[in-house]
Structure 1
Amino acid sequence: MEKQTLGHQQKYVTKNERVENLWKKLIGQETDLSEETIAWMARRILQLTAYMPYGCALIAYRKQNGDFYMGRGTLIHYEADFHRKYDIERIQNHVVYWDIEQQGWRTFQIENFLEWKPVVS
């Protein structure tokens, strides 16, 4: 954990909290959504990125051109393909994932995220 000083108090901020706060800021800059909705989106993306290294998820988002997209994605083979661990702190604007239907690495912009759910086979 990283220690941050807030006035005379010390607060310990986890990696997930740092990332979630960054994503909320970035989503807020790109959209006119409520703070509550932005916080929900950031939490759901955090949950998605924690789940995908171990399983398959159905992901819904808007493409850059505005079209709706829903597909199955995973990060199971991320380390083997990119020769490094998946690090959520590297996510600035786009979430990378393996698109199972299209058989390729794809990304979506965090502000275009809609929802996800686990795919259980």
Structure 2
Amino acid sequence: MFITYAVIGVILGAMSLASAVAKLARTKDMVEGLHGRLGVPLGWFPFLAVCEIAGAAGLIGGLWYKPIGIAAAVGLVLYFIGAVGAHLRKNDVKGAPSATVFLVLSAAAIAFRVVAG
């Protein structure tokens, strides 16, 4: 189970970091999706990016210290519940699937880290 957590944690961490970098760089797709379709203020981008960076760091730290990995995964689940909710609220069928994938991977990270020794 630990190897499964490690794989999920590293993949989810890399995906979260990529998303955070896109927010910080204010890439066209990120601005169009979050600001344009969802109405997220541009001033929130750094805060959202820091949340994702903290989650990614916690997932990696969770490879050595179980409680940090669990806490990071819980934080990411809460973050992506908000993201999925925002997409559904605005009926954004373009962005909801990717947020849902992040949410499912975050939930899987919790499950596998809790079970892993």
Task: Pick 1 or 2: higher relative contact order, CA cutoff 8 A, min separation 6.
Answer: 2
Q: Give the greater-gyration-radius structure (CA).
A: 1
Q: Please identify which structure carries the higher strand content.
A: 1
TM-score, length basis structure 1: 0.35
TM-score, length basis structure 2: 0.36
